[in-house]
């Protein structure tokens, strides 16, 4: 089993379906609380996954651990460690690579909506087995400038949804990991945000096709495990 450090910002946002598939693919994932990070946290992970959360990647004064997190990501990137960021994790990865993160000018994306792979995404091994367009779950208001040297792999009509930096780092803006039955906890935790956006629980819970979502999430988890395994072997 390949050890993989998973930085979690809030308990309700975990690996979900991705964790199930990554474990089957040979990854031993261990959660680390983002708020426990300091400037002295060693960059010793064999593989690093950063999950989502309600903070903004630019709120480093309000949440000092975000600064430590960005520096930790940079040190792992410099060492060639495979790094995957999901939602806030993708924004932190973008920041670590020199991209600016900011509130999206086209509004928030919350709920189920299509994502389209770019030609680069269609040929990228992380998205093997995916159709050119697929339905997935979104919950974010921030976006980012593409970091220098990064390549767009997926997008919606509003924002970049996935990117790659060289061969050892991926950012995914949406939430492929989400287990629909767990979304009730998101609704409770982020209720005020839903109200401000004039959305209802139905907008979050109305899964278009739960079987398709699970199938693609598990496939992505398999692809992630394969990518991390190959990268750690130097292939």
Q: Is the dihedral of CA 83, 49, 109, 70 positive or negative?
A: negative
Domain count, the chain: 1
Backbone angles phi, psi at 24, to 5 degrees: -65, -25
Give pLDDT tens digits for 48-61.
999 999 999 999 99
Q: How many CB atoms lie within 10 A of CB 203?
A: 14
Is 177 labeled as catalytic in the residue annotation? yes
How far apart are the two ends of the chain, measured CA to CA in Å?
17
| pLDDT confidence of residue 73 | 97
Is 71 labeled as catalytic in the residue annotation? no
Give pLDDT tens digits for 69-124.
999 999 999 999 999 999 999 999 999 999 999 999 999 999 999 999 999 999 99
Of 13, 69, 109, 177, the active-site residue reads 177
Label residue 33 left, alpha or beta by phi (over 0 means left) and psi (-120 to 50 means alpha): beta
Determine the structural domain holding residue 151 and report its residue range.
Answer: 2-232
For residues 129-158, give the mean pLDDT: 96
| pLDDT confidence of residue 19 | 96
- Name the 3-class secondary structure at 82: coil
Please classify residue 49 by burial: count the beta carbons closer than 10 Å to its beta carbon, then call 0-12 exposed, 13-18 middle and 19+ buried. buried
Task: Give the Cα separation of 19 and 228 in Å (integer).
Answer: 13
Of 87, 97, 109, 140, the active-site residue reads 87
Cross-strand pairs, 30: 5
Give me the CATH number covering residue 13: 3.40.50.880
| pLDDT confidence of residue 183 | 96
| pLDDT confidence of residue 6 | 98
- Name the 3-class secondary structure at 214: helix
Is 4 labeled as catalytic in the residue annotation? no
Give pLDDT tens digits for 153-190.
999 999 999 999 988 999 999 999 999 999 999 999 99
């Amino acid at each position: 089993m390949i050890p993989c450090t998973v930085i979690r910002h809030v308990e309700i946002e975990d690996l979900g379906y991705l964790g199930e598939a990554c474990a089957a693919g040979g990854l031993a994932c261990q959660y680390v609380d983002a708020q426990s990070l300091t400037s002295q946290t060693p960059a010793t992970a064999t593989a690093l996954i950063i999950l989502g959360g309600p903070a903004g990647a630019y709120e480093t004064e309000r949440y000092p651990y975000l600064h430590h997190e960005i520096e930790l990501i940079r040190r792992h990137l410099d060492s060639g460690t495979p790094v995957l960021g999901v939602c806030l994790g993708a924004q932190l990865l973008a920041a670590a690579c020199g991209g600016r993160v900011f509130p999206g000018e086209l509004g928030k994306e919350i709920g189920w909506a299509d994502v389209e792979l770019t030609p680069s995404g269609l040929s990228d091994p992380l998205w093997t087995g995916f159709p050119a367009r697929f339905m997935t779950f979104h919950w974010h208001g921030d976006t980012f400038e593409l970091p220098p040297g990064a390549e767009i792999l997926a997008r919606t009509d509003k924002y970049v949804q996935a990117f790659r930096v060289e061969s050892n780092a991926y950012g995914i803006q949406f939430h492929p990991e989400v287990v629909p039955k767990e979304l009730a906890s998101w609704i409770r935790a982020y209720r005020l945000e839903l109200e401000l956006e004039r959305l209802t629980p139905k907008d979050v819970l109305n899964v278009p096709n739960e079987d398709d979502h699970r199938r693609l999430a598990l496939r992505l988890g398999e692809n992630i495990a394969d990518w991390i395994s190959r990268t750690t072997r130097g292939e």
